[in-house]
Amino acid sequence: MAFRNRFELVLNETVKTPGAKKGERKEVGKVMVPCPILSDFGINAAQAKDDKGELQYDNGLPVYDDSKFQWLMDAIQDKVSVKSRNKFDKGNLKPGMMLADDFDALTAESARTGAALALRREARADFENYLRSLDKKEAVIAVISDLFWNSSKVLGTASDKSLNAITHYAQRWVGQLSPEKGARFQPKIAELNESIQNATLEVDLMEGETEDSNEQQAA
């Protein structure tokens, strides 16, 4: 069954101006995103009401009376927001991408099958080989590769130096991938991108980075 509720998601992009060292985040569009609410998960939670007794909504999604249920709803919306944002480029859906509007589509994107694990390992090996092409020491490669592999678990508490390192080298790795490999490794790229954004770095790996970028900020 398709999700009945949708919320408005603002799409931002890093825009670089001549002479500026860093880009500026600017709005490039808005999109209505399908989102499951607690009742879709079979959770019976009372919705908050205003002084007139009318049910309360925030950006198209119900507001719950119990703070624990509201925290859960906010977490669901945050997860859907990041996954949806990664599917856009310059305000438009990337080729072959579509917004998940039911549980089959939503859970399929997170499936941990044997084939998916093998693909993650292939992406990691390709990333490590790229680092070797830069003449990085094996000890450095091991550290950065671990951040790459466990990005969804460790980047939220990683140091600024580690975040800068994985972001810097991941951008360059993605930028030099062939179109075929870019499409093949898209699930891992999207996961890594999501982890970096969740760590409060407003970076899009698909925006790429030039070869002469300052490497002093990276490990």
> Are both 75 and 125 inside the same structural domain?
no
- Per-residue confidence (pLDDT) for residue 212, from 0 to 100: 40
> Are both 166 and 88 inside the same structural domain?
no
> Are both 51 and 142 inside the same structural domain?
no
Does pTM surpass 0.85? Answer: no
- Per-residue confidence (pLDDT) for residue 200, from 0 to 100: 52
Domain end (from 108, 127, 144)? 108
CA distance to 31, 34, 59, 63, 86, per residue, from 180 (Å): 28, 30, 38, 43, 19
| Integer Cα distance of 81 and 218 in angstroms | 28
> Are both 100 and 147 inside the same structural domain?
no
- Per-residue confidence (pLDDT) for residue 24, from 0 to 100: 76
> Are both 135 and 178 inside the same structural domain?
yes
Amino acid letter at 98? M
Please name the residues in contact with 183: beta carbons below 8 A apart, sequence gap of 6 or more.
96
Where are the strands (E) in the chain, listed by range? 5-15, 24-35, 57-58, 61-62, 88-89, 92-93
Please name the residues in contact with 66: beta carbons below 8 A apart, sequence gap of 6 or more.
45, 46
Using DSSP's 3-state secondary structure scheme, residue 63 falls into coil
> Into how many domains does the chain fold?
2
Q: Which of 10-19, 47-56, 141-150, 207-216 has the lowest mean pLDDT?
A: 207-216
> Are both 124 and 183 inside the same structural domain?
yes
- Per-residue confidence (pLDDT) for residue 151, from 0 to 100: 81
> Are both 60 and 131 inside the same structural domain?
no
Domain end (from 64, 86, 108)? 108
Residue 176: closest CA among 84, 199, 185:
185
- Per-residue confidence (pLDDT) for residue 113, from 0 to 100: 60
> Are both 126 and 63 inside the same structural domain?
no
Residue 169 has pLDDT above 80, yes or no: yes
Domain end (from 108, 125, 145)? 108
Q: Which tens digits make up the pLDDT trace of 180-212?
A: 898 888 888 888 887 777 765 455 555 554 344
| Integer Cα distance of 192 and 103 in angstroms | 22
The whole-chain average pLDDT of the chain stands at 84
- Per-residue confidence (pLDDT) for residue 216, from 0 to 100: 42
Residue 147: closest CA among 137, 157, 138:
157
Q: Which tens digits make up the pLDDT trace of 60-90?
A: 999 999 999 999 999 999 989 988 887 888 8
Q: Which of 31-35, 152-156, 174-178, 198-202 has the lowest mean pLDDT?
A: 198-202
Residue 14: closest CA among 23, 1, 27:
23
Name the pLDDT band for 128 (thresholds 50, 70, 90): very high
> Are both 123 and 211 inside the same structural domain?
yes
**Residue carrying the six token digits 């030039």:** 210
Amino acid letter at 132? R
> Are both 96 and 140 inside the same structural domain?
no
> Are both 9 and 103 inside the same structural domain?
yes
Residue 211 near residue 172, CB atoms below 8 Å: yes
Segments forming the whole domain that contains residue 169? 114-217
> Are both 120 and 95 inside the same structural domain?
no
